[in-house]
Amino acid sequence: MKNPPHMHPQTSSVSEGFDPTLSVMAVRPPIYPVSTYCFPNAAAAAHYFEVLLGKKDAVPGEPIGLVYARLNHPNAEMFEDSLRSVERGAHAAAAFTSGMSAITTTIFTLARPGTKILYQRPVYGGTDHVFRGILPGWNVDAIAVDPDRWDEALAAHGKDVSMVYIETPANPTLAMIDLDAMRVLVDRHCPGGGVPIVVDNTFLGPVFQSPLEHGADLCVYSATKFLGGHSDLVAGAITAKDPAIVTRVKANRAFFGTICEPFTAWMLQRSMATLWLRMTKQSKNASKLVDVIKAHPAVERVHYPTLFVGDQARIFRKQCRAPGSMIAIDLRGGREAAFRFLDQLSLVRLAVSLGGVESLASHPRTTTASEMSDEDLRASGVTEGLVRISVGVEYWRDLAKDITGALDAAAR
């Protein structure tokens, strides 16, 4: 029972990946809390292993049966099909235990000792820790590149680069990168082609940005955020143009043990059906709130795509379908003002994470970005007065009242 082809992602997000005939005709997917699966015969078992461990290619269209839940299981596969169907340009997807395990499993598949990863700062603090604190121990050099130095950096390191890693919009400043332009530079400077551009698309998600249609090879997601959307699970995902890359990452996922477990994968698939509704409402809410926030005297600067100027505005218009629901505010008065703002909020909860139905706020400098070096903090504009808000689905006027009261407190 297949869905018609070429459906809009809004439609495929509702039911793609689920076939009722495989599940006693249930309308929605059941959970399969099962660790191991029966093989039809011994030869099939041997073949499944060869394909799943990346030793042999599957014949196109050939269904590969289930084996053991650390390799694959129905709930992960259903979520993966659903995510693949909404990610424009994707031909495969994989689900993980967390955004960090999606990122690290991908890195340990694509990078090799002695190679370099070039990345645009800022990146999420956990990713920054892997780049600066862990990869050097494995002889992989992660080099932060300033926005206007990519040509120079790729010219200098091109032949040693195993991966270009971009977070756009970046956490927490929302800085954007032109992915089409990055593709041109990478292909110009990295001989032999094939250097993958990996994009952390967590902030705008497949709803508002399609990196694979702008020259990227892989998207990584913290599915804990918008894909999950309810702050009740931790998970991650990747999508890619080339299914062969995903097969390689999945082979490592099997050995690292980083596959998303059945219950979480089931929750993720359930969340996919409301992804468009949630993200659209959240983005509309944020756009209205920004008009209120930017007019307040406590505010030095608001980082939000509709307020971008110059090249950042051009990239937003070209690459994104909507501004999304993350707002960063630079408050006058530094850390003290930021803390007064956060402590005054009541409807908006003081917590890290983002992308849930409820609004959250945090102080990146002392929390998620606290491990960044002083140089990176300065270069990326993560100031003491910066607060980050993830806007939820509440009625926007209630949020505006809460945020205005907190801005008043910040100004005191």
HSE-CB at 235 with a 13 A cutoff on CA atoms is 30
238 exposure class (CB count in 10 Å sphere: 0-12, 13-18, 19+)? buried
- 167 vs 178, which CB is nearer to ligand PLP? 167
- 51 vs 164, which CB is nearer to ligand PLP? 164
Single-letter amino acid, residue 105? T
Question: CA angle at residue 61 from 64 to 89, to 5 degrees?
Answer: 105
- 170 vs 406, which CB is nearer to ligand PLP? 170
- Does an H or E element contain 367, and which? none
Residue 122: asked if its preceding bond is cis (omega within 30°), the reply is yes
HSE-CB at 43 with a 13 A cutoff on CA atoms is 0
For the CB of residue 55, give the shortest distance to ligand PLP in the complex, in Å. Answer: 30
- 16 vs 128, which CB is nearer to ligand PLP? 128
For the CB of residue 203, give the shortest distance to ligand PLP in the complex, in Å. Answer: 6
Kindly give the pairing relationship between strand 386-390 and strand 360-362: antiparallel
- 13 vs 201, which CB is nearer to ligand PLP? 201
- Does an H or E element contain 140, and which? none
156 exposure class (CB count in 10 Å sphere: 0-12, 13-18, 19+)? middle
For the CB of residue 145, give the shortest distance to ligand PLP in the complex, in Å. Answer: 18
For the CB of residue 31, give the shortest distance to ligand PLP in the complex, in Å. Answer: 21
Extract the tokens encoding 104. 């690290």
- 215 vs 324, which CB is nearer to ligand PLP? 324
For the CB of residue 64, give the shortest distance to ligand PLP in the complex, in Å. Answer: 27
For the CB of residue 98, give the shortest distance to ligand PLP in the complex, in Å. Answer: 3
- Does an H or E element contain 96, and which? strand 92-96
- 17 vs 356, which CB is nearer to ligand PLP? 356
For the CB of residue 357, give the shortest distance to ligand PLP in the complex, in Å. Answer: 17
Contact 275, 227 (CB under 8 A): yes
For the CB of residue 335, give the shortest distance to ligand PLP in the complex, in Å. Answer: 21
Query: Residue 116: beta bridge partners?
Result: 141, 161
- 71 vs 369, which CB is nearer to ligand PLP? 369
For the CB of residue 355, give the shortest distance to ligand PLP in the complex, in Å. Answer: 8
- 222 vs 344, which CB is nearer to ligand PLP? 222
Q: How many whole angstroms separate alpha carbon 376 and alpha carbon 383?
A: 11
Q: How many whole angstroms separate alpha carbon 394 and alpha carbon 291?
A: 17
Residues whose CB falls within 8 Å of the CB of residue 374, separated by 6 or more in sequence, listed in order: none
Give the residues lining the site for ligand PLP (CB under 6 A). 98-100, 124, 126, 167, 171, 200, 202, 222, 224, 234, 236, 353
Chain centre to alpha carbon of residue 145 = 20
Nearest to 353 by CA among 307, 390, 316, 325: 390
- 200 vs 402, which CB is nearer to ligand PLP? 200
Q: How many whole angstroms separate alpha carbon 247 and alpha carbon 250?
A: 5
For the CB of residue 216, give the shortest distance to ligand PLP in the complex, in Å. Answer: 15
Chain centre to alpha carbon of residue 335 = 28
Q: Which residue sits closest to ligand PLP, CB atoms considered?
A: 99
In the chain the first and final C-alpha atoms are separated, in Å, by 62
